[in-house]
Amino acid sequence: MTTDPAILQRAKSWLDGNFDENTKTQVREMMANNPAELTDAFYRDLEFGTGGLRGIMGAGTNRMNKYTVGMATQGLANYLKKMFPEIDPIRMAISYDSRNNSKQFAHIVAEVLSANGFKVFIFDDLRPTPELSFSIRHLHCQSGVMLTASHNPKEYNGYKAYWNDGAQMISPHDVNVIKEVQKITSIDDVKWKGIEKNITVIGEEIDELYLAEVMKLSLSPEVIQRQKDLKIVYTPLHGCGRKLVPEILKRYGFTNVTMVKEQAVADGNFPTVRSPNPEEPDAMQLALKKAREINAELVMATDPDADRVGIALKNKKGEYMLMNGNQTAVLLFYYMLKRWQEKGKLTGSQFIVKTIVTTELLSDIANKFSVQYYDCLTGFKFIADVIRCNEKDKQYIVGGEESFGYLIGDFVRDKDAVSACAIIAEAAAWMADRGKSLFDLLLEIFQEFDFYKEHLISITKKGKSGAEEIQQMMVNYRTQPPQQINHSNVVLIKDYLTLKEKNLATGKEIAIDLPVSNVLQFFLEDGSKISVRPSGTEPKIKYYFGVKEKMQINDKFEAIDNKLTEKINDIISSMNLQ
C-alpha cells in the first residue's frame, strides 16, 4: 500500500515537532510497518464535533491522545475567554471515567486550563457524568469537561464539553467552540505548563451534596422500609457507577443489593464484555446469571460513565426479560406521574420531556395525568434546553430518550443513571408492596393505553460513496415520500430540515418549533411511526419504528409482542431495508 504523500508529510511533522519520544516511536512504527493505520491516524484532524471529541486512542492527528486533547482544550479556553470577559478567573469542573487514559487526559485538561488562568476543580478519582454536571452548577462554573467515550468499545475515548448550566453545549456555543478549536493548528499554540495554585481537587464533599439531592427525589420511602429486602442485582460494567449507585440504593433503604463482583472492578479494558453498553444483551449476561442464582426481582446495569441504565425484569413465566430504553422510560414516567398525583403535587404547571424518536406512549401517559409534554431533537442536550427555557415558570419532573438515558429532577442537566437506578428500584418496591412486579406494571400500562413496541435498525454505508448514498436516500424520501407503508396510508409527515409538518389528507402544513435537523418522520393511519435519521457521528442511517396494538388481558402479552415484531419486520420489508 502506497501512503498519500500529504499524509506522510503530516506524520513526519510529528517526528520533527515537540512531541514526546513515545509518540514519535509509535509514528515510526506505523510508517515502517502499518501504512493503513498510518493513513487512518493522519488523514485528517480528529473532529471536535457538537458533543466534543470521540475517537480511537493512539498517536496521530485523527486519534485521541494528549496532544489532540490539549489542542481542543486550548480552543475551548479561548472561546470561554471571549464569552466571559468580565469573569476572572473563569471556573471549570473536570471529571473522568474508568477508560484507559481518561485520568491522564483529565489532568492534561486541568493543566492547560490552569495555564490559561482558569480556576479548575478536578475530581480526586473517577466520577459519573451526572455528578460532573451537578458540580458545574454547584460550583458556579462557566464550563466543564468529562473524559469518557460513554458506551463505546475499549479502543475509544472521548471529551464532552459542557456549558454553565451543566448541560452539553448547543447552538451557538457548540459551533463557535468548534471554530476556535480549528484555529489551534499546532501543539505550540497550547499553554501546557499548568499553574498548581489554580487547581483544586474535589471529592467526597461533592458526592454528599449530589447524593443529598438524589435523596430528595424519593416518593415512597415508607414503601421501601416495608420492601427493603427486595432482591436487586447491579453491575457497573467496570465503570464509575460502582461507588454511587450501591451507595444511593443503600441510602434509599435497600438492604439486599448484590453487585456483580467480576464487573465491579474499574477497568478500561472491560474484560468481561465485548462492549460496555447496557443496550447490548451480551453486556447483561453476568448480571442475569447472578439474578438467576439468587432469584432477583430487578437487574440493573450502568455504562462506564454511569449516565445510562439498562434493566431486566422477570416475566409471568419467571424468565428475565431485557427492557428496551422505551419500556424503561414508560415505567419511570408512569411511576413518577402516578406518585406525584397521589401526593397531590400535580398543580398544572409541571412538564415532562422526550425526544422525537422516543415512544409516543409517554405523551399518552402525560395526557392522562394532565401534564404538559415537550418533544425535542435527539440528544440529551436538547432535553436540558427545554428545562432551561421553562424553569422560571414551570416545574420539570422527568425526561428521557430511547437510548437508555433518563433524568429525574433538574439539579443535573444530563442523563443520570444514578438517580434513575434509585427511582427504578423504588418503583419496583412500590409494586412489590402491592404483591406485584414492575413487569406487571408494564402490562397494566399496556392494557390502559395500548401495547407499544419500538425497534431501531442502523444501516452502515462506509466511505465517501456511502455518505453520498445516505444523503441521496434522504433526498428521495423528501422528493418522493411514500404514500403507503406496509399497506397503511401515510397520514402525516414531519420534516425537521424544513421544519414543516404536513397532513396528507388535508394538505395543511404547520411549522415545527424546533431547531433544524436532518430527520424525517412518517405517521401511518394504523398508528405506526417511522423516523429516519442519518447519524451525526457514524456512517449510518438510522430507522426508528414504533407500532402499537390493543391489549385487553395481560396474558396475551407474548402473542401481541410476537405480532408487533412481525409487523415491524413487514414495515422493514415494505421499505426495502432488508
464/102 Cα distance (integer angstroms) = 31
Q: Is the previous residue joined to 153 through a cis bond, with omega within 30 degrees of 0?
A: no
Asked if 491 and 524 touch (Cβ cutoff 8 Å), the reply is: yes
377/358 Cα distance (integer angstroms) = 10
Active-site residue, from 102, 143, 150, 517 = 150
| 235 strand-pairing partners | 301
Where helices occur in 320-403 by DSSP H, the ranges are 325-342, 361-368, 380-390
C-alpha cell at 153: 468499545
- Give the amino acid at 66: K
The length of the chain in residues reads 578
420/36 Cα distance (integer angstroms) = 43
Going by their DSSP bridges, the two strands 405-408 and 451-460 should be labelled as unpaired
Asked if 218 and 426 touch (Cβ cutoff 8 Å), the reply is: yes
Between the CA of residue 359 and those of 73, 324, 331, what are the distances in Å? Answer: 37, 11, 12
C-alpha cell at 118: 482558569
For the question of residue 150 being annotated catalytic, the response is yes
Beta strands in 264-319 (DSSP E): 298-302, 309-314
CB neighbour list of residue 561: distance below 8 Å, 6 or more residues apart: 451, 453
26/60 Cα distance (integer angstroms) = 9
Asked if 98 and 271 touch (Cβ cutoff 8 Å), the reply is: no
C-alpha cell at 16: 520533527
C-alpha cell at 445: 400500562
Rounded to 5°, angle at Cα 504 from 511 and 479: 80
Give the distance from CA 426 to its chain's centroid: 22
Asked if 406 and 309 touch (Cβ cutoff 8 Å), the reply is: yes
Asked if 447 and 312 touch (Cβ cutoff 8 Å), the reply is: no
Asked if 255 and 320 touch (Cβ cutoff 8 Å), the reply is: no
- Cell 453486556 sits at which residue? 283
35/401 Cα distance (integer angstroms) = 41
Q: Catalytic residues, which ones?
A: 150
